[in-house]
Amino acid sequence: MFVPLLVLRNLFRHKLRTLLTALGIVIAIASFGILRTVVDAWYAGANASSSARLVTRSSVSLVFPLPLNYAQKIRQVAGIESVAAVNWFGGVYISERNFFPQFAIQAPAYLAMYPEILLADAERKAFFTDRQGAIAGRKLADQYGWKVGDAIPLRGTIFPGTWTFALRGIYDGADKTVDQSTFFFHWEYLNETVRKSNPRRGDQAGLFVVRIRDPGQAAEVSQAVDATFANSLAETLTETEKAFQLSFVAMTEAILVAIQAVSYVVLLIIMAVMANTMAMTARERYGEYATMKALGFTGAFVAGLITAESLGLALFAGVAGIALTFPLAAAFAEAMGTLFPVFFVSEETVALQLGASFAVGLVAAAVPAWRAARVRIVDGLRAVA
Amino acid sequence: MALPFSYVVRNLVARRLTTALTVGGMALVVYVFATVLMLAAGLERTLVATGSDDNVVVIRKGAQTEVQSGVDRIQASIVESLPGIATGEDGRPLVSKEPVVLISLPKRESGKPSNVVIRGVTTAGYALRPQVRIVDGRLPRPGTAEVIAGRSIAEGFRGAGRDETVRFASRDWTVVGVFDAGRTGFDSEIWGDAEQMLQAFRRQGYSSVIFRLADGSRFDAMRQAIEADPRLTLEAKRETRFYADQSEALSKFITYLGTSISIIFSIGAVIGAMITMYASVAARTGEIGTLRALGFSRAAILTAFLTESLLLGFVGGAIGLAGASLMQAVSISTMNFQTFAEIAFSFTLTPGIVAASLGFALAMGFIGGFLPAARAARMKIVDALRAA
């Protein structure tokens, strides 16, 4: 009982210093957690993808469309259940700053492939029966205060003109990994309008989402699809939805790597601060340590005392930092709106934060503990802080 | 009378480990702060330098990038015949009608695909961009499946190096040359013959029309002429403006993210400085009492401790900046959200960033040192001497 009490008393000898150090660790651990969560959010699309879905697009790049009649041919490939054409719309809502993804979809087929998009039956019916209808995610609707029945104008950047949609439904996600900030409308409506204004661009799909019967066959089915269109005017590239999403992540990898690197820099900073605290603390107490040694305590015991103090402080502050991460993440998600559609602190992040606080405590104690353990009794007693 | 500067310096030297750890913490914060600003500056500089003030880019109304845009042949010809366009050495108007598309190419190192801009150019296209120089190989012959690649692309992507072939649009294209565009956005593009590109990609129209103004100040008149013409559904922008707009979102994103990260990190470093300075004051209580008894004023004590803390900040800032300036050798290649295409840029250190970083470091030192210095200055002579 004596030893823990001694450690605790030691911690509170310099209340201000302990408080400041703890505050620093709380901030560092919390910001480490937020940065990790930002990186996780980047991968959200890939994590939410299903292994039963493939994406077929032009092999040249995403900006090249595929002819609509490919849908029929893809459907004939063995192992394929359903196909839906999808187009990226890239419209502007009022001003460029209001960015959110908009997709033209072949609605019945697409929504059947995405059971995680939850839509009330009445709203689903209303959406299917209205050609100019659209549905939006709950987060998106909340951000702009949309209600079912509202007219939503979008200025096309890829498809010229102003397009007005009637909001027929607001969807929820089956769980928190589902992106609830997307806007969907009918591909047929887009196609009809484009055919009238620019016939050459009609009957073209940006990509096809394909549902396969057996996820284990994804590789074979993908190859079969691509083989169907090999040496045609528009060759295709088929990959799993996850690989497709990851290819977007890979394009911005440099930024991601930077954020990850920076999340470790904050740990280094706090390690320096904490090591400084422990070094000062130990230096002030060399006399005491020498006295303890003179009384018969071993060097290892003294080193253990310093390590325990350092670990205790780091872990206590670390846990407080973890606790702070959750409200901070919620506030950050609120402020970012639809930019990070999926934003939550994962268990892995919490485990890493705990590990980081442990490491900070251990590293900070290393040099002072080693020095104190080796200090000669005579030198220690003579030392002046 | 003020305390000598050497007194301040020696105090820091006397506690080497503590000083080093505090300075190290600050240096890391300044390093992050400076590199982020350098990244944003590098991106802006690359894209701003891409444009030339007398060049005008004409794209379809509402389109934000050349890839999204479409200009059919009739519209392109109308623009081409507008008065006010400069003529080249060969006596023909300096107009380039260009198809611009994105293709996905695997990166040389990781093999992961990324989007690369392919631009079809004409002879006038080279005249419009004098910064583009062939550094290896030669220009493509018109009417052939030959292309040239920008330096960043040639280095970063498979098949894009000299004498290699890239396959797109069901054809193999030979890279006959590598060009340097003086660290502009064109370094991240592949260029080929415009008509060949149109055929290969089965396009009926161009993506953009670029021309040089005969008189740079007549831009507004030209723009009105284009935008008021009922046959044209196009808009005109100065090339500088056009490319600067494209850097906006990404550089804002980098700046916002970086500044908020640095500010949060700086709290940690300020706390470090505060702990050090409080300890420094506590350890020298007797000394402070002696100094006061000798006649040094409270202001002198306050100044000395503040100087000590500012010096910590300054040294930390200088080390952080030195580290950051090494980053200038590194170039980054990532996707620009707005154009959806790969863009290479390098960390760029500007005088503004140096000033901002040092200011930031000094501010950290000041905030960290003020309270401890005030405590030292407020000490009563008798108490301080007794504490020793």
Q: Does the pLDDT value for residue A384 go beyond 70?
A: no
Nearest CA in chain A to B331: A254
Longest pairwise C-alpha distance within chain A: 96
Q: What is the mean pLDDT of residues B318-335?
A: 92
> What per-residue confidence (pLDDT) applies to B11?
86
Highest mean pLDDT among A11-15, A140-144, B110-114: A140-144
* β partners of residue A277: none
Rg (CA), chain A: 30
**HEC per residue, A164-227:** EEEEEEEEEECCCCCCCCCEEEEHHHHHHHHHHHCHHHCCEECEEEEEECCHHHHHHHHHHHHH
Flag if B28 and A31 touch (Cβ within 8 Å): no
Q: Which of A322, A329, A313, A323 has its CA nearest to residue A365? A: A313
Distances in whole angstroms, Cα of residue A356 to Cα of each of A276, A303, A349? 17, 21, 10
Return the SS3 of A324. Answer: helix
Is B388 near chain A, with CB under 8 Å? no
**Chain A neighbors of B267, CB-CB under 8 A:** 24, 27
Query: Which residue among A17, A155, A272 places its CB closest to the CB of B21?
Result: A272
User: Residue A254 in contact with residue A340, Cβ under 8 Å?
Assistant: no
Q: Which of B315, B76, B369, B310 has its CA nearest to residue B210? A: B76
* β partners of residue A54: A210, A240
**Chain A neighbors of B264, CB-CB under 8 A:** 27, 31, 266
Q: Does the pLDDT value for residue A110 go beyond 60?
A: yes
Name A179's Cβ contacts closer than 8 Å, sequence gap at least 6. A44, A45, A48, A101, A137, A173, A341, A342
Nearest CA in chain B to A256: B334
> What per-residue confidence (pLDDT) applies to A1?
62
| DSSP structure class, residue A339 | G
Q: What is the mean pLDDT of residues B26-38?
A: 93
Q: Does the pLDDT value for residue A49 go beyond 90?
A: no
Token digits for B27?
């240096």
Flag if B114 and A251 touch (Cβ within 8 Å): yes
| Residues in B 283-312 with any Cβ partner in A closer than 8 A | 283
**Chain A neighbors of B22, CB-CB under 8 A:** 272-273, 276
| DSSP structure class, residue B65 | S
> What per-residue confidence (pLDDT) applies to B280?
86
> What per-residue confidence (pLDDT) applies to A56?
96
Quick one: A382 exposed, middle or buried, by C-beta within 10 A (0-12, 13-18, 19+)? exposed
Q: Round to whole Å and give the CA distance between B151 and B171.
A: 22
User: Residue B124 in contact with residue B51, Cβ under 8 Å?
Assistant: no
Is B22 near chain A, with CB under 8 Å? yes
Nearest CA in chain A to B31: A265
Query: Which residue among A60, A160, A266 places its CB closest to the CB of B62?
Result: A160
Compute the nearest-CA separation of B83 from chain A (Å).
27
Compute the nearest-CA separation of A35 from chain B (Å).
9
Assembly ipTM: 0.82
Flag if A268 and B342 touch (Cβ within 8 Å): no
Q: Round to whole Å and give the CA distance between B171 and B185.
A: 26
Q: Which of A266, A380, A260, A359 has its CA nearest to residue A314? A: A359
> For residue B21, how far is the Cα from the chain centroid?
31
| Residues in B 312-351 with any Cβ partner in A closer than 8 A | 332-335, 337, 340, 342
Q: What count of CB pairs under 8 Å joins A to B?
A: 143
User: Residue B316 in contact with residue B27, Cβ under 8 Å?
Assistant: yes
Is B263 near chain A, with CB under 8 Å? no
Average pLDDT value for chain B: 90
Q: Does the pLDDT value for residue A385 go beyond 60?
A: no
Flag if A280 and B104 touch (Cβ within 8 Å): no
Flag if A64 and B201 touch (Cβ within 8 Å): yes
What pLDDT digit, counting tens, does each position of B346-370 carry? 999 999 999 999 999 999 999 999 9
Is B214 near chain A, with CB under 8 Å? no
* β partners of residue B98: B208
**Chain B neighbors of A161, CB-CB under 8 A:** 62
> What per-residue confidence (pLDDT) applies to B140?
92
Token digits for A146?
């949309």
> What per-residue confidence (pLDDT) applies to B15?
83
Helical (H) or strand (E) element with A121: helix A121-129
Is B102 near chain A, with CB under 8 Å? yes
Name B230's Cβ contacts closer than 8 Å, sequence gap at least 6. none
Is B84 near chain A, with CB under 8 Å? no
Q: Residue B182 — very low, low, confident or very high, per pLDDT cuts 50/70/90?
A: confident
Q: Round to whole Å and give the CA distance between B344 and B114.
A: 12
Percent of chain A residues past pLDDT 70, beyond the cut: 99
Flag if B268 and A269 touch (Cβ within 8 Å): yes
**Chain A neighbors of B29, CB-CB under 8 A:** 269
